[in-house]
Amino acid sequence: MKIIMLGAPGAGKGTQAKKIAGKYEIPHISTGDIFRANIKNGTELGKKAKTYMDQGLLVPDELVCDLVVDRVQQKDCERGYILDGFPRTIPQAESLDKALAELGESVDFAINVEVPDENIVNRMGGRRACVGCGATYHLAYAPTKTEGICDTCGKELILRDDDKPETVQKRLGVYHEQTQPLIAYYSKKGILKDVDGTMDMEAVFQAIVKILGA
């Protein structure tokens, strides 16, 4: 099963992608997580990506497409995968489709998690990410057992650099301009599935499971 998660920044793509990956035992591939891991490790890719991410801009397609096309051809992706944060532009979607077509494959579902912009700003301000394992929490909606400490690995939680309110506004603008056109792109292919992302996390998850099937 090959799944794409679409939605604005903070819509809950990562939250749901992790749960889906667990249930269906397929890898969760987040381009944002890949870039953040590269930034943390000080790689060349990380250095390049950071200059765009900190401004709320998209990393150029040429730094993203090959990376994802390589990743989805690794052995653990044989039974499928869930892509979170990719594609984010029409050229990215086209490059994925082209690479899959060469393998005789195609995307099965594009899940569009719908959340209005007003709710997004509130969610991002409360999000906290672990510096160690990257796990994501929310001060109000997904709190940790001990404040400021990751439940999974015990490391410190931080506000992501790009979650500051002015950068969130920029990211929302970029989303509407460059990523939202993908909704029509996948709708035309007949694989778009809309989900109401304003429900609580478990209700959103159940709605997605209903679409994907048991």
For the chain, the three-class secondary structure string (H helix, E strand, C coil) is CEEEEEECCCCCHHHHHHHHHHHHCCCEEEHHHHHHHHHHCCCHHHHHHHHHHCCCCCCCHHHHHHHHHHHCCCHHHCCCEEEECCCCCHHHHHHHHHHHHHCCCCCCEEEEEECCHHHHHHHHHHEEEECCCCCEEECCCECCCCCCECCCCCCEEECCHHHCHHHHHHHHHHHHHHHCHHHHHHHHCCCEEEEECCCCHHHHHHHHHHHHCC
Pattern of binders to ligand AP5 over 47-86, x per CB under 6 A? -----xx--xxxx----x--------------------xx
State the number of binding residues for Mg ion (CB under 5 A): 1
Question: Which of these is catalytic: 36, 127, 128, 193?
Answer: 127
**Residue with smaller CB distance to ligand AP5, 104 or 115:** 115
Taking the least distance from each CB to ligand AP5, the nearer of 160 and 187 is 160
What does the angle CA 66 – CA 92 – CA 10 come to, to the nearest 5 degrees? Answer: 110
C-alpha angle with apex 29: 76 to 90, nearest 5 degrees?
A: 120
Q: Is 12 in the site for Mg ion (CB under 5 A)?
A: no
Choosing from 2, 36, 123, 171, the catalytic residue is 171
166 touches, from Mg ion, ligand AP5, none (C-beta below 5 to 8 Å by class):
none
Nearest CB to Mg ion, comparing residues 16 and 95: 16
Q: Which of 18, 48, 50, 160 is catalytic?
A: 160
Q: Annotated catalytic, 79?
A: no
127 is catalytic: yes
**Is 10 a residue that touches Mg ion (CB under 5 A)?**
no
13 binds ligand AP5, rule: CB under 6 A: yes
User: Applying CB under 6 A, which residues contact ligand AP5?
Assistant: 7, 9-15, 31-32, 35, 52-53, 56-59, 64, 85-86, 88, 92, 123, 126-127, 136-138, 141-142, 162, 171, 197, 200-201, 204
User: Applying CB under 5 A, which residues contact Mg ion?
Assistant: 14
